[in-house]
Amino acid sequence: MLYTQGMEENKNILKQWVLSAINNRSGKELKEIFETIPNIDIAEAISDVKDPKQLLYIFRVVGSEYSAEFFAELSSEQQEIVISAFSDKELMELISDSFADDIVDTIEEMPANIVSRVLKACPKDLRGDVNRLLNYKENTAGSVMTTEYIEMKDSTTVKDAIQIIRDKGKDAETIYTVFVRDSKRTLVGTVELSDLIFSKETDVLSDIMDKDFVSCNVNDDQEDVAKKFKRYDLTAMAVVNSENKIVGIITIDDVVDIIEQETSEDIAHMAAITDMEDPYLKTPVLKLVLKCVPWILALMVLQVFTTMILSGFEDRIAQFAILAVFTPLIMDAGGNSGGQTTTMIVRSLSLDEFGGKDYPKVILKELRVASIIGGIVSAFAFGWLMFEMSVGIVNTSSIAERVTATGGNFTAYMALVAALVAGTLFVTMIISRLVGCSLPFLAKLVKLDPAVMCGPITTTLVDIISLVTYFLLWTNIIGPALGF
């Protein structure tokens, strides 16, 4: 049977293939599936299988070289089913083939009785590693590191080092980077596997190791760790404690997960929802509702200022109804412009393209950009609104009434209204971009994720400012010109 990795339409085919092998008790066919198809694809294909007998058959047939990794790819619900159905012996065999960080990821959200059973099944050394990882603050280097790595003394010869890799490499997260310590267990360097292969057998690690290595502290934020991986093109990094003693490592596959998690969080914050731990289709409806409602209600409360402004100018809108027609246009344009700026600044801050000290440079640059954009937008808006009012797209009855009452020129009155909107848009473009630029810097200053303060908050603030500008220009300039 053919299977093309990554093709969504083949998931059902793969699912039926796996279930057929299980139902027919064809262990040979099931092993063939695991030998030819990645574990994550198999796990995704059977993600809705909850029958303990079917899941257990898989683990009792496939070899240990597949079962631990496959278990790590299952959903938390499936993992709990498997753990509950396993005998103590089967659970111990599964745990002994698993990495400590994968075990932690598995049991973090599980009931206490399941956690207790898993820890009981862990060998003594592994249990200590798991407990230590569980105690690190969430989203720090310590919480995502693994304790399965190859560590050697700086006095080890190349010949002995290669033999150690052969003996212990299968149980390590990576064999491509060896971490070197001195007699006091202080991290002093790293050695790449390629360096070992091309060195003399009699060389010692202290002579060939890289002393200019990059490491991180157990309490470093995981996002900062990911940035180090990108900056220095790393595949593995040592995690050290305050005494510079290695306590674990982070590998590139962990960093990919970190980047995905952080990106998901930023997107959620920018859309004004709380973070989603599970995929969308697996998240219950009520949980989705609870993630969205608090932000919507909070922003509704914040919009009270917009309501107050509109209410304060209600009599002017009643006198000249066309003022209300262009209010959504002004608010939307300001929000869109501010949102664009915030997105660019948040991205640049996250990539460390500039820091807080560069705020004056950024604000001056945005001022120039905003002035040009404002000029283009306001010029276009003036011409477009004149066209809309001339051909009847916009109801101009309130202008006609004013012309009749004052004997003024209809075209001149339309031009004044278009100028009011264009002038407001010019000011709004400048203010919205300055606000959108400043909020991420403010968030950094007060130690908040910049994504939290962008999007909805920027839009709400710009709405308030643009409305104030609109009605102030009307009250002090355009309104008097029209005889109001």
The 10s digit of each residue's pLDDT in 47-66 is 888 998 898 888 888 877 77
Cβ–Cβ < 8 Å for 165, 150: yes
pLDDT averaged over the chain?
A: 83
CA-based nearest residue to 251, from 159, 377, 146: 146
Residue holding tokens 């403010």?
442
What's the CA dihedral at 17, 22, 27, 28 to 10 degrees?
-20
CA-based nearest residue to 90, from 64, 54, 124: 64
Count of alpha carbons within 13 Å of 303, Cβ hemisphere only? 9
Q: Is residue 109 very low, low, confident or very high in pLDDT (cuts 50, 70, 90)?
A: low
Task: Locate the domains of the chain by residue range.
Answer: 8-135, 151-261, 303-481
* pLDDT at residue 2, as a whole number: 44
Average pLDDT on 402-413 reads 85
- Residue 226 to residues 59, 232, 451, 482, Cα–Cα distance (Å): 34, 10, 17, 60
pLDDT over 70 at 234, yes or no: yes
* pLDDT at residue 10, as a whole number: 75
* pLDDT at residue 176, as a whole number: 92
The per-residue pLDDT for range 245-289, each reduced to its tens digit, is: 888 899 998 888 887 776 666 655 555 445 555 665 666 777 767
Average pLDDT on 408-418 reads 90
pLDDT over 90 at 483, yes or no: no
Average pLDDT on 426-455 reads 78
Average pLDDT on 4-32 reads 80
Q: Is residue 462 very low, low, confident or very high in pLDDT (cuts 50, 70, 90)?
A: confident
Q: Is residue 77 very low, low, confident or very high in pLDDT (cuts 50, 70, 90)?
A: confident
Q: Residue 478: what are its φ and ψ, rounded to 5°?
A: -70, -45
Cβ–Cβ < 8 Å for 248, 215: no
Higher pLDDT, 450 or 228: 228
pLDDT over 50 at 106, yes or no: yes
Pairing of strands 246-251, 236-240: antiparallel
CATH label, 8-135, candidates 1.10.760.10, 1.25.60.10, 1.10.10.1110, 1.10.10.10: 1.25.60.10
CA distance 484 to 481: 7
* pLDDT at residue 6, as a whole number: 46
- The residue type found at 279 is P
* pLDDT at residue 448, as a whole number: 66
- Residue 252 to residues 37, 145, 169, 176, Cα–Cα distance (Å): 22, 11, 17, 12
Q: Is residue 455 very low, low, confident or very high in pLDDT (cuts 50, 70, 90)?
A: low
CA-based nearest residue to 160, from 212, 203, 111, 130: 203
Q: Is residue 205 very low, low, confident or very high in pLDDT (cuts 50, 70, 90)?
A: very high
Average pLDDT on 29-45 reads 88
* pLDDT at residue 421, as a whole number: 93
Q: Which CATH superfamily is domain 151-261 in?
A: CBS-domain (3.10.580.10)
Structure tokens at 306: 């917009």
CA distance 176 to 179: 10
pLDDT over 90 at 210, yes or no: yes
- Output the CATH code of domain 303-481: 1.10.357.20
Higher pLDDT, 403 or 167: 167
The percent of residues above 70 in pLDDT, for the chain, comes to: 88
- Residue 265 to residues 1, 295, 444, 474, Cα–Cα distance (Å): 39, 15, 16, 42
